[in-house]
Amino acid sequence: MDVPPPLPRGLWDSMANYLRGIAASLPQRPTAVLIISGHWETEVPTVNATPEHSLYYDYYGFPEHTYRLPYPAKGSPGLAARVRTLLTDAGIVSAKDTGRGLDHGVFVPLMLVYPQADIPVVQLSLRHDMDAAAHLNIGRALQPLREEGVLIVGSGMSYHNLRKLMSGQGDRESSVFDTWLTEAVTDPDPSGRSASLSAWRAAPFATDCHPVAEHLLPLHVAVGAAGNDIGRRVFSDRLMGKAISAYQFG
């Protein structure tokens, strides 16, 4: 959609260009996408297990056409079952859902990454207790999927304080936290990386940048699934003055 004034017209251009380039950056075309969005929280990790997706337009006050955006990707009950098996094998209780549509943390970025909607998509929820170590463990359990051709995506935001984003406050704090987060994610020692991210709230300005954790913890799942791979920062920008970054493994 067009960016409403007084915001700059090119506000999202850099991020959109990054998303459009992800597919070409991967070593192979994935067989499916498992995506963890910051917009779905449940008591236990829950996987959508439907062969056909509806969309959940979980936003308010936007132009009418944004409630008709299509993304007709198929689901994969087989992948959903595999996810639950891996979680069970790791001692993690899970659940399945067949009614909730894909939320905008899924279909909006994927419209740019895979615009043909020709790769099956399965969504996995966050735990609503926002336990950082637990989400790293969820990712570790899912690591075998990477060898099976599944692309694991953490869809959130490395900065998410909407009040400060809109008020123009907190630019310096966002830079300090972004530097810490990048150092943590790119730590070549997986145990050090996990220790840092488990204790992310102790990082400088962490709770200024994330008053709540739902937009950060999708990254923890991806980090857990990365195994010994070293993270790389593959995108950075300033969004309305706030430092934001994205990371890739493998």
Residue 7 has pLDDT above 90, yes or no: no
pLDDT, position 6: 85
pLDDT, position 185: 98
- With vertex at residue 162, the alpha carbon angle to CA 160 and CA 166, rounded to the nearest 5 degrees, is 130
Per the domain annotation, does 153 fall within a domain?
Answer: yes
Residue 68 has pLDDT above 90, yes or no: yes
Residue 183 has pLDDT above 90, yes or no: yes
Q: CB of 222 within 8 A of CB of 152?
A: yes
Residue 84 has pLDDT above 90, yes or no: yes
Q: What is the C-alpha separation between 128 and 42, in angstroms, rounded?
A: 5
Per the domain annotation, does 127 fall within a domain?
Answer: yes
pLDDT, position 161: 97
Cis peptide before 63 (omega within 30 of 0): no
Q: Which of 171, 199, 197, 173 is nearest to 184 (CA)?
A: 197
Per the domain annotation, does 150 fall within a domain?
Answer: yes
Per the domain annotation, does 125 fall within a domain?
Answer: yes
Per the domain annotation, does 40 fall within a domain?
Answer: yes
The SS3 assignment for 211 reads coil
Per DSSP, 39 falls in state: E
pLDDT, position 167: 87
Per the domain annotation, does 106 fall within a domain?
Answer: yes
Overall number of domains in the chain: 1
- The residue type found at 45 is P
Question: What is the rounded average pLDDT of the residues 149-176?
Answer: 95
Q: CB of 34 within 8 A of CB of 150?
A: yes
Mean pLDDT check: name the lowest of 61-65, 139-143, 147-151.
61-65
- The CATH number given to whatever domain includes residue 111 is 3.40.830.10
How do residues 122-132 score in pLDDT, each as one tens digit?
Answer: 999 999 999 99
How do residues 214-234 score in pLDDT, each as one tens digit?
Answer: 999 999 999 999 999 999 999
Per the domain annotation, does 50 fall within a domain?
Answer: yes
> Which residue range is the domain that position 210 belongs to?
13-248
Per the domain annotation, does 61 fall within a domain?
Answer: yes
Q: CB of 50 within 8 A of CB of 75?
A: yes
Residue 17 has pLDDT above 90, yes or no: yes
